[in-house]
Structure 1
């Protein structure tokens, strides 16, 4: 015998917002029964108008396909039509008008603060006009009332309407400012992740590519191959640590820290030596010992990344270069360190580099320029006479 799994029937979701609306409707419709028998029609019209406006003010929207803009516009239009067409006793509006006025104030507050920009003005204006004109429903029908009553009623209603509209508009501005701040924070976070990916992970991968290119040259010894594989492993571990640091920053995990040390100025001689081996361009490095102690660990990592990016660009865009020089020295005042990477390039490489559009190539130097600026430094690159190319990075000391 086939059995079906027992399931409990789904209970309807509780909707607590129904009770205030139902209560308001009952309270506003109940006094119709107390009206004079000949005035039941007029009383019912006023009660229904006040009830509809109160329901719009209390219910959450949208309800089905009905949006709050549609409901608020309909409520304001109904109130204005009743102002123009009401022909019953003048005393009846005096009972329902205060409740309808309070409901219109609530609708006005929600409309100005929450509706989209293209609806907030028209709908808010219509609701405000209905609230200001509501006292005229009673004042204009008073026998021998004169002009003082209508004018006083309009002024009495206008001031609160302007105050509520101003308060809701102020809150709307605050909400918009908060939304822009959130969007800006998200954009800055995405840019920070992109900078981290390029500055940390991409440069480690660039170093791996550089090592792999050197490993493809003929005549590699077993010891050189072993050292190459060890450097590739270290570069891969640094890339993984950089990824862990970025993920930890996104998760606000400050306890995560890398397990491999960062490369700095002291590692430049080995980098340049590996670049200039096995038939490549002759590479030399001039590292001033006093420059190493001037920079922080983060600034040294930036300087190392600049040299690595510049050497990689020599491989990519100036393969015919015969000489590459790396100079690291402190400024005369001892407050900054300058890193210069230059190559002999050749006329063909220079023409190739000058023809490259700013957005056509990689974003390596652009990202490093932003990274250097974050440390308070600068990075420039361009041709040098007679046919070479030079990258210059200046970083302030700690």
Structure 2
């Protein structure tokens, strides 16, 4: 019995079709049966008792730590009872011992059994916390990939679609203008491919990164707004004006800078999709009176633009029949940084305004 218990505590389970719960439960039942029906010499206990005691304690710790929740409620107490009642195999059958000695010996065995159970519960809690943290890290990585696909790839693909539509509508366009349209489509397609390559690279390198390390995606900032506005201006008929105050770029944390950039990117993409006849777009980034950083994008669609052409991407502001998740996700991201994001109709069109508070400034 001691050899069988020792083997069960050392072997790796599952072995074949036998799981750890089945092996521990079977050994515990046999141990309890041997306590009642033991017929050997009580004096030989010194030979096997230490080995079987240690084996049962190790088996109890493994059961409490690894057996699934549906089974541990049965197998755990059964294995614990086998470890606590093991001294009865000697005290019940020795001629000089009785009930008092049995109760005393079982009480002594209760202490190491409780310690083994406590170690198992502690390690089980660490395993659960680790599994939960890994699940959260994987979920955050999937959300990051989804944000990159939405913010960058969708932005460039939208530009490609609009350029292609413009080429079809312009029947009297000169060959030089057609060539310029095709060049802009080519550049937008190459940028979309680059963004897709970065996203795929982040996914492929996920297994090689340390646990909890974020994906190596590029972080943009307010200093990149000039390039973003320039690309938008080259692919839109609207007049775009960027007002970027001096020394604002680089004052926020990297995550806050990237969030501010994505707010502008999402706003320009919405204007391109839902307000294509906007005559003027104003992009502003600067400080407020309380030293917070304000980023706003306002389009001037004019009074002749119908209401349904205005971008409505924020929950509670109407909405599109498809999509509409960009500013919703950005609102949660800005809120996590302690800021606010508002979107709604303005005097001449639609306005998105983001405030990032002073504590986020380095």
* TM-score after normalising by structure 2: 0.77
What residue in structure 1 maps to residue 298 of structure 2?
Answer: 341
Tell me the alpha carbon deviations over residues 162-197 of structure 1, each in whole angstroms, 9 at most, x when there is no partner: 111111211111111111111111111111111111
Pair 1:156–1:257, CA change in 2 (3 A): closer
For 1:52 and 1:234, the matched residues in 2 are separated by 71
Aligned residues: 335
For 1:394 and 1:355, the matched residues in 2 are separated by 19
What residue in structure 1 maps to residue 229 of structure 2?
Answer: 268
Secondary structure, aligned partner of 1:341: strand
For 1:185 and 1:109, the matched residues in 2 are separated by 29
Secondary structure, aligned partner of 1:264: helix
Pair 1:325–1:106, CA change in 2 (3 A): closer
Bigger Rg, which one: 1
Secondary structure, aligned partner of 2:352: strand
Say which of 271, 278, 285 aligns to 1:311: 271
Higher mean alpha-carbon deviation, 321-330 vs 119-128, is at: 321-330
Query: What is the 5 A alignment of 1:251-330?
Result: 251=205, 264-265=225-226, 268=229, 271-272=232-233, 274-276=235-237, 283-288=238-243, 290-291=244-245, 294-296=248-250, 298=258, 301-302=261-262, 304-315=264-275, 323-328=279-284, 330=286
What residue in structure 2 maps to residue 35 of structure 1?
Answer: none
Tell me the alpha carbon deviations over residues 274-314 of structure 1, each in whole angstroms, 9 at most, x when there is no partner: 533xxxxxx444433x4376235857743551342132232
For 1:256 and 1:177, the matched residues in 2 are separated by 26
For 1:99 and 1:255, the matched residues in 2 are separated by 52
Q: RCO (CA 8 Å, sep 6+): is it higher in 1 or 2? A: 2
Pair 1:358–1:84, CA change in 2 (3 A): farther
Tell me the alpha carbon deviations over residues 316-335 of structure 1, each in whole angstroms, 9 at most, x when there is no partner: xxx7x675543425344475
Report the Cα offset of residue 273 of structure 1. 6.9
Report the Cα offset of residue 153 of structure 1. 1.1
What residue in structure 2 maps to residue 121 of structure 1?
Answer: 73
Query: What is the 5 A alignment of 1:156-171?
Result: 156-171=108-123
For 1:351 and 1:287, the matched residues in 2 are separated by 20
Superposed CA RMSD: 3.7
Report the Cα offset of residue 356 of structure 1. 5.2
Specify every segment of 5 or more residues in structure 1 that has no aligned partner in the other structure, as ranges: 1-48, 277-282
Report if the CA contact (8 A) 2:38-2:93 is conserved: no
Specify every segment of 5 or more residues in structure 2 that has no aligned partner in the other structure, as ranges: 210-214, 251-256
Secondary structure, aligned partner of 1:216: helix
Report if the CA contact (8 A) 1:272-1:284 is conserved: yes
For 1:135 and 1:257, the matched residues in 2 are separated by 65
Pair 1:369–1:208, CA change in 2 (3 A): farther
What residue in structure 2 maps to residue 70 of structure 1?
Answer: 22
Say which of 133, 139, 152 aligns to 1:200: 152
For 2:311 and 2:13, the matched residues in 1 are separated by 64
For 1:215 and 1:223, the matched residues in 2 are separated by 12
Secondary structure, aligned partner of 1:328: strand
Pair 1:150–1:169, CA change in 2 (3 A): same
Report the Cα offset of residue 125 of structure 1. 0.9
Report if the CA contact (8 A) 2:264-2:297 is conserved: no
What residue in structure 1 maps to residue 344 of structure 2?
Answer: 382
